[in-house]
Amino acid sequence: MRAEIVGVGTEILLGQICNNNAQWISERLAEIGWDVLFHQAVGDNVQRIADAFRLALSRADAVIATGGLGPTQDDITREGLAAALGVGLVRQPAIERFLREKFASMGRSMPGSNLQQADVPEGGRHILPQRGTAPGLICQTPEGTRVYVVPGVPSEMREMVGGTILPELAELGGPSALVSRVLRVTGVAEAKVAEILDDLFRASTNPTVAYLASSGEVKVRLTAKASSGGEADDLIRPVAEEVARRLGAHVFTTNDEELEAVVGRWLKARRLSVATAESLTGGSLGVRLSRAPGSSAYFKGSAVCYTADAKQAVLGVSKETIEGPGVVSEECAREMASGARRIFGADLAVALTGVAGPDEHDGKPVGTICVALRGEGAEESRSFRAPGDREMVRRWAEQAGLDLLRRHLEGSAEPVELGPATENLTA
Amino acid sequence: MRAEIVGVGTEILLGQICNNNAQWISERLAEIGWDVLFHQAVGDNVQRIADAFRLALSRADAVIATGGLGPTQDDITREGLAAALGVGLVRQPAIERFLREKFASMGRSMPGSNLQQADVPEGGRHILPQRGTAPGLICQTPEGTRVYVVPGVPSEMREMVGGTILPELAELGGPSALVSRVLRVTGVAEAKVAEILDDLFRASTNPTVAYLASSGEVKVRLTAKASSGGEADDLIRPVAEEVARRLGAHVFTTNDEELEAVVGRWLKARRLSVATAESLTGGSLGVRLSRAPGSSAYFKGSAVCYTADAKQAVLGVSKETIEGPGVVSEECAREMASGARRIFGADLAVALTGVAGPDEHDGKPVGTICVALRGEGAEESRSFRAPGDREMVRRWAEQAGLDLLRRHLEGSAEPVELGPATENLTA
């Protein structure tokens, strides 16, 4: 079955935003075995939107359009679609009621312009949103081609594509599946991963492998095609197991989880709580640990101490450490971890200090990262130098903190190469 | 003059890569005053590539295509373009020589398949690359429509678009420029912004306006077209001033800055330091305040206290407050702000507490946000309810904290509607 994706919005054609929605939807459609033959992007112009819909409807079995469903006068995808289908717009009392209730629940009166969001092309259905106020649209041509319109805001788009559209298309598409499985790895470089796995994939076309590296982690994506999801899984499983065996404790998930989610799962299972002490990351390690719903079961808090004074006053780092090895040292990281464990009353604490840049600090070069962990009878610390700009160094530091925590929780005894440089900077 | 961008490559349609090239080229074309009316993306199939070219050539004055110029058998953009133009491919001795020399200079012999890169549609020109081995193509229809093809590798694409294509198109297009200016607004809903500005733009085609809403903020983008950048600026300026006048203190930037950058600028200018106390945000307010290089000049740190115990032990929130109005209250936010100001020795402190969800907390519904600011002789607090999921509520809270800080620093006396609900939840 053939799908086409239409992005609506002048901001795409002006290059002010990238049409990432088309990528995300394409990936999801591939997973359920639908072929995407074309993408289009078109601006906020009723005539051209209608042209884009007509063309897509002439050559696809289903069309998914994003954007132009908001409450302002430049939101005209409804009108464009109605024109392409040769029908009028009909106001839906159910949507109107939904909008009025949504606004009332937020204690606001609804601006009159929001009412246009209650219009649906004649004969069409709608999808009520959980996020936002823009309903999605579902229409069908006399020939049976489906057309879906969802908001351009990524979170609202994903909710409707994932919740409503993919299940409908999967049913229409019949038995065909493209399945991907993602293993994620820390503590080892992309080229090394590729080298370790090279012979496994040199001759393999099903599953295929792709590597994707980012700061402090490598994704290994295995993709198989078969007549069902189960069969595709069967093709992937033995290969995924071999990949996991070869990469050992470097693999933190075989199921595309974020590192903080893996750590959260371990903390819950072992009924342990955690706190952080941070400097160069500005608090982003705590943000990641607290991101998951239910994280209050294990996350106690974090103390972000950007200055030497705050490290002393809040975390109790000693004057000797600050004047001796300095604020960018494993000693300082260890004292920060001890301090965070004490003030938050946590079972475990992780501390990060270092130099995010752009300038060196306390005589240490940009990219220097010191990480420490403190628990009941446990104390570990390491340091390394990360590559890249300020954002990348901060990301490397987060990964190092989370991974130290993960390996401690897993009881993994394997030697760990934390980052690209292995020199011990404070030794 | 009208341009169209065609991305060639099955990897785009599978969602394996995002078509960032289209964004980059669109932005560059806007800068020289060319209108982009459509983007297309098409896979590695000669027939469909030819269809995409025919369509683009039927409605644009210039077409820029990216991708499919490599040496492998799935690189077939040359064939597709030749088919669309109804001409054959002619091998160019100049390109063949270039390729042989390129390989020789790298000490390698050239694989035979690379020779297809020396083929150009009859009557066409080519662009020799500095990076890579793939030459670009320049053709023209009998009607005078230009079509350019460049490699899909971003660095190679940019070299040819910047070095050859934009200068040609700028000359064809004559003196013309498209300029955008973005004002960003907090504390007022998108529909309300549109209503306030409606009459300004109902009749205006130059500049035009677009609204883009996200959690806790609305962007107002003004775009003008003129024969030079200076003239376009002159068209935008009075309208931007009127927009800023009508929206008053809600406007935090007329120059597309992030809210934390505006706050950072104010803190630097007034030589004040800041600390935060956070609960539901997990530290993300501190992350944003510390994101900018040089933020150590004003950011002292943050205390993220997820539990009631930590709020008491670290920030000194009183037992009476925790047992009375509770941890989700303006009283608690005020005591948290006082505590953060004290322990970090900061001039100003902002505190956030609330319910990010998915479940209600301490009897308060999901989305409840309490924000407080404490400074020398200054204490303010507010509460409201934000819409959306956990991520969105956290983002709303950050915006509310940053905006309270901004308005305090600006000395703005205007009444503030922080979020969608104005009820005082703890009154």
| ipTM for the whole complex | 0.75
Model confidence pLDDT, tens digit, residues A259-279 = 999 999 999 999 999 999 999
pLDDT of residue B422: 32
C-alpha span between A123 and A140 (Å, rounded): 8
Which residues of chain A neighbour B55 with C-beta distances below 8 Å?
55
Contact B344 A310 (CB under 8 A): yes
CA distance A17 to chain B (A): 7
3-state secondary structure of A386: coil
- What CATH number has the domain spanning B177-253? 3.30.70.2860
Is the pLDDT confidence value at A427 over 50? no
Residue A414 above 70 pLDDT?
no
- List chain B residues with pLDDT less than 70: 412-427
- Dihedrals phi, psi of B210, to nearest 5 degrees: -140, 145
Distance CA B304, CA B393 (A): 17
pLDDT at B209: 85
**Fold exhibited by the domain B2-173:** Molybdenum Cofactor Biosythetic Enzyme; Chain A (3.40.980)
pLDDT of amino acid B412: 59
Q: Which pLDDT does position B111 carry in this prediction?
A: 81
Contact B240, B221 (CB under 8 A): no
CA distance B57 to B145: 7
How many C-beta atoms surround the C-beta of residue B157 within 10 A?
25
Phi, psi dihedrals of residue A31, rounded to the nearest 5°: -65, -30
Q: How confident is the model at residue A412 (pLDDT cuts 50, 70, 90)?
A: low
Answer whether residue A38 shows pLDDT above 90.
Answer: yes
The fraction of chain A above a pLDDT of 90, given in percent, is 72
Let me know if B229 is exposed, middle or buried by CB neighbors in 10 A (0-12, 13-18, 19+).
middle
Q: Which of A19, A30, A290 sits opposite B19 (nearest CB)?
A: A19
Contacts of A390 in chain B (CB under 8 A): 293
**Which H or E run includes A90?**
strand A89-91
Would you say residue A32 has pLDDT above 90? no
Residue B178's pLDDT is what?
Answer: 78
Q: How far apart are CA A426 and CA B2, in angstroms?
A: 60
Neighbours of B164 (CB within 10 A): 17
Residue with the two structure tokens 């975390």: A315
Count, residues in chain B: 427
Distance between CA atoms of residues B180 and A272, nearest Å? 52
DSSP state string for A307-319: SHHHHHHHH---H
Using a CB-CB cut-off of 8 Å, the residues of chain A touching B28 are 15
Block residue for tokens 């009924």: A271
**A105-156 pLDDT per residue, tens:** 878 888 888 999 999 999 999 999 998 889 999 999 999 999 999 999 999 9
Rounded to whole angstroms, the Cα distance separating A243 from A220 reads 9
Residue A411 pLDDT > 90, yes or no?
Answer: no
Out of A43, A307, A390, name the one closest to residue B37 (CB).
Answer: A43
Structure tokens at B376: 């020398």
Contact indicator for B360, B395 with CB cutoff of 8 Å: no
Of B28, B178, B421, the CB nearest to A106: B421
Does residue A371 register a pLDDT over 50?
Answer: yes
Q: Which helix (H) or strand (E) holds B138?
A: strand B136-140
A contact test, residue of B6, B10, B14 with most A CBs within 10 A? B14
Task: For residue B100, give both structure tokens.
Answer: 């042989």
User: Residue B304 and residue A306: Cβ atoms within 8 Å?
Assistant: no
CB-CB under 8 Å, B385 with A106: yes
Chain segment A320-358, per-residue pLDDT in tens: 999 999 999 999 999 999 999 999 999 999 999 999 988
Single-letter amino acid, residue A7: G
CA–CA–CA angle A246, A249, A251 (5° rounding): 75
How far apart are alpha carbons B7 and B151 in whole angstroms? Answer: 10
Residue of A19, A42, A305 with shortest CB distance to B301: A305
Q: Pull the structure tokens for residue B244.
A: 């800023």
Report the C-alpha gap between B387 and A307 in whole angstroms: 36
Using CA atoms, how far apart are residues A166 and A31, in angstroms rounded to an integer? 10
Helix A190-202 and helix A229-247: axis angle, to 10°?
130
- CA geometry: angle A95, A98, A102, nearest 5 deg: 140
Element (H, E) at B247: helix B229-247
Binary contact (A111, B191; C-beta < 8 A): yes
Amino acid occupying residue A421: A
Contacts of A198 (CB under 8 A, 6+ apart): none
Output the CA angle A79-A83-A89, nearest 5 degrees: 50
Among chain B residues, the shortest Cα distance to A110 is held by: B191
CA distance A328 to A279: 9
Q: What is the pLDDT of residue A425?
A: 33
Nearest CA in chain A to B284: A287
| DSSP code of residue A71 | S
Closest CA to A277 of A247, A231, A250, A313: A313
Mean pLDDT within A200-210: 81
CATH code assigned to A260-410: 3.90.950.20
Nearest to A39 among B40, B223, B299 (CB): B40
- Contact between A368 and A406 under an 8 Å Cβ cutoff? The reply is no
Closest CA to B232 of B251, B253, B254, B208: B208
Of A23, A301, A344, the CB nearest to B18: A23
Q: Do B307 and A284 touch (CB under 8 A)?
A: no
Across A397-410, average pLDDT: 96
Please tell me the number of Cα atoms within 13 Å of A214 on its side-chain side: 12
Average pLDDT, chain A: 91
- Chain A residue at shortest CA distance from B202: A73
Which helix or strand (DSSP H or E) is residue A287 part of? helix A284-289
Domain boundaries defined on chain B: 2-173, 177-253, 259-410
Give domain B259-410's CATH architecture. Answer: Alpha-Beta Complex (3.90)
Q: What residue in A sits closest to B28 (Cα-Cα)?
A: A15
The CA distance from A26 to B121, in Å, is 32
CB contact under 8 A, B12 and A26: yes
pLDDT for res A157? 97
